[in-house]
Every structure is written in C-alpha cells, then in structure tokens.
Structure 1
Amino acid sequence: MPAPITPRLAELRRQFGLRLRDVREGQGLSQERLGELAEVDRKTINRIENGMYSPRLDNVFQIADALDIPIKELFIAHGVSPNE
C-alpha cells in the first residue's frame, strides 16, 4: 500500500487540478471531450481536477497537447495569470 502523501503534495495536486479545470472550462470543453482529445479517460481528468490523482508525465503532455497550450501553462498557480 502506498504511503500517504504529504500535505504539500496534496496542495500541489489540488492547485494543478484547479488550474487544469480553469483552462479546460476556459476553452469550453467538458471533461469527457478533453479526455477524448487527450486520449485519457474522463474519470482520470476528473480525478486530476479534484486533486485525487497525480497524473503521469505522459498524461500531462497529452493533456497540454489536447488543450493546445504549452505544458508550463498547466503549472501556473490557480488564479494567477501567466504574465504575473
């Protein structure tokens, strides 16, 4: 059984998920549609957005490609514009 994650990792997962949700919703995409475009299961998108799952790096690449954004855009803190 995996060890529990630290509070810091939990917060980073939460921030990543919120950022992904912001970008996805900003593009008018449902979780299902993003999953189709990224070739990732909708449940995986949901778990990432809710901070319940740490995505594999390959998934991050696929999601960024599907959103047509640079990968670094997914790592900008939730609620912070890329130019800040």
Structure 2
Amino acid sequence: MEAMVLKMVGQRIRDLRRQTGLSQEELGEKAGFHFSYIGGVERAEKNITLVNLQKIADALGVPINDLFVYSKYTSNKNNDKDNLLSSIHEKLISMEKSDLRKVQLFLSDFF
C-alpha cells in the first residue's frame, strides 16, 4: 500500500512535468535536484519528503495538493461526477492565469 502512494504521486509529477513541457533535467534544475532524483521519484523508487514535494510543486508552478490529485491512477471505479471533475481540473491546471480569470468570470455570471 505504501508503494502505491509513491507510484501515484510519481506518475502525477511525471504528468504535470510533461504538461509543462519540462524534461527531468529541467525540472530537477528548477527544483534544486539532480535529474536522476526526479526520475527516481517518478518511478516510485524514492520515498520523497514533504519538503522535497513542495520544491517540486513550486518548480512545476502548482500548489502541493495538486501532486495528490491522482484519482485517474487508481483502480477504483470513479463515478461520473468524479470523472467529470477530474477532467475539468486537468484542463484548468494547464491554463494561463488570464484564461483562468475569464473562466472564473464566466462561472460567476453563469451561476
């Protein structure tokens, strides 16, 4: 069970890194780690500390809690609402701040 958390967080970091267009080397440089450490985290070979998770989240430009949004990596069946929320969240993460403001205004006006 412990290894499953490492695997899901590692996969999430890999996905976020790829979404931002960073290589392992570039992410490592931004976070202050060697690229081999980033690779070890992504492959669940490293038991990463919370301090290091925060450094990686900062380097990726996401809040640390985004590293734990890994419902798509679990084998549990998600209901339709969870799937929809996850899909929306993935789209929002990749958006620029100015576009997020537009979405916020739209939602405020719509609801």
- Alignment correspondent of 1:75: 68
Residue segments in structure 2 that go unaligned for 5+ positions in a row: 73-82, 91-111
- Alignment correspondent of 1:24: 17
Please give the TM-score of this superposition, normalised by the length of structure 2. 0.64
- Alignment correspondent of 1:33: 26
Residue segments in structure 1 that go unaligned for 5+ positions in a row: 1-7
**More displaced stretch, 19-28 vs 50-59:** 50-59
Write the deviation string for residues 22-47 of structure 1: whole angstroms up to 9, x where unpaired.
Answer: 00001100000000000011111000
Distance, in Å, in 1 between the alignment partners of 2:4 and 2:55 is 23
Shift of 1:12: 0.9
Distance, in Å, in 2 between the alignment partners of 1:32 and 1:45 is 8
Shift of 1:83: 3.9
* Greater fraction helix: 2
Whichever of the two has the greater Rg, that structure is 2
- Alignment correspondent of 2:7: 14
CA RMSD in angstroms comes to 1.8
Distance, in Å, in 2 between the alignment partners of 1:34 and 1:18 is 14
Shift of 1:20: 0.4
**Change beyond 3 A, Cα 1:26–1:83:** closer
Structure with the larger RCO, 1 or 2 (CA within 8 Å, 6+ apart)? 1
Identity %: 38
Please give the TM-score of this superposition, normalised by the length of structure 1. 0.83
